[in-house]
Amino acid sequence: MFWLPILCLGVIVLVLEFLFNRNWIRAAIVIIAAFALSGITFIADINSQITDTEIWSGTVVDWEHVEEWDQWHPPSESCSTDSNGKRSCTTTPGYYEHHNATNSIKTSDEGWISVEQAPEGKSFNDEWPNDDTILKKHWPKGTPTAANHKYINKVNASYSIYKHEEIIIEDYPDLPPYPDKVRDKFFLDRIYGNVPNKDKANELLSMHNSRLNEMIPDTEKPGKQRSWKQVNIIFVNVGPNKTEDYGFALQDSWEGGNKNDFVVSFSMNDDGTLNWVYPFSWSEVELLKLEVRDYMMDLKKIDDFTLVIDEVAKKVEDKFERKQFADFDYLQVSISSGALTFIWFLNLFGLIVNIVLTVVEKRNSNLYGRRVRRNKFSRF
């Protein structure tokens, strides 16, 4: 389908040139330009379909404060000689360039990150702080962090893999968005909806995610490191008195989750009882999902969600194995209808331009021919 509009353009342009002006250079330019623009559109569309992000969890590992300083630029002289051999020179005076103080924090998941203010909102400047003491105070070593990282996800372009055919997402307008908004450059809340002791549970979940993603030696790549479990645990309370269809709809809405997600969706009533629990993940171990579901459903009432966090984290540590998305390399990604329409438009535009230029050139050629003949016969 991608090649069809380019092929049609090429054939029509070549036929027009053969019948009329035979301007092969122009024909080549039009065809090459259409091919290049169509190719760029095709590549951009495919990349937009398969590029995804996942959440990496890490910890604060280092700090750096660089004091403000002034850099001296010495005077410089530039000379030139004119056509008469006269030499002239211009001198630029020396000057100082001021560099503001900088503050950075290194995390195990994102590397060095520049910070401009303290967590309470006070801005950093040349006067404060004067060393890394303040950085260590606000971001102690081992503080959990989070960051977005891109990866190739062909599943995005093959919705049928994770879709529940009986679910129509539009029937569930109150589904939460995927939690990927990192706040304050470091932190991410991974519990949606109300749960008992939510603030403490969120802190504890961040700690567990960071612990489960500690960097360890990569046995397949000597000298390299990789994340231990490569997992991102998320809890979603879709609300009280909701049917389990909401869990299926959430999975469809989040497109099965990202490759390292372990999502636990559930419906919790105001008194802390659960109606259902539906975990979903790309984990190779299906038993993990069943164990988490059974564990939470066996709880008669949840008064403190931190207990749930601890127990689920233990089960994930014991059984989670992230699915290798290379297993989906067999998926064929097709160009979207919008991009294909745009490619047809590009080639149609190229064809119109070529026709206009052909007509203009033919008309000018005819006018020139008549003028030459008129001048020739006017001599007699």
Neighbour-count burial for 238-253, b at 16+ CB within 10 Å, e otherwise: bbeebeebbbbbbbbb
Residue 355 has pLDDT above 90, yes or no: no
Return the SS3 of 173. coil
pLDDT in tens, 56-98: 999 999 999 999 999 999 999 899 888 888 888 999 999 999 9
Domain residue ranges in the chain: 54-138, 159-328
- H or E segment to which residue 130 belongs: none
Q: What are the C-alpha distances in Å from 323 to residues 16, 285, 318?
A: 54, 9, 15
Q: What are the C-alpha distances in Å from 121 to residues 62, 116, 128, 228?
A: 21, 9, 13, 34
Smallest CA-to-CA distance from 69 within 100, 28, 44, 34 is with 100
Residue 372 has pLDDT above 80, yes or no: no
Q: Sign of dihedral through CA atoms 146, 149, 155, 156?
A: positive
pLDDT in tens, 173-205: 899 999 988 888 889 999 999 999 999 999 999
Residue 129 has pLDDT above 80, yes or no: yes
Q: Can you tell me the mean pLDDT for 210-236?
A: 91
- Percentage of the chain beyond pLDDT 70 is 92
The pLDDT confidence band at residue 340, using thresholds 50, 70 and 90, is: confident
Domain 159-328 adopts which CATH fold? Diaminopimelate Epimerase; Chain A, domain 1 (3.10.310)
Residue that wins the pLDDT comparison between 370 and 6: 6
Give 257's DSSP letter: -
Q: What is the pLDDT of residue 354?
A: 79
Q: What is the pLDDT of residue 253?
A: 92
Amino acid at 59: T
Q: What is the pLDDT of residue 16?
A: 79
Residue that wins the pLDDT comparison between 57 and 375: 57
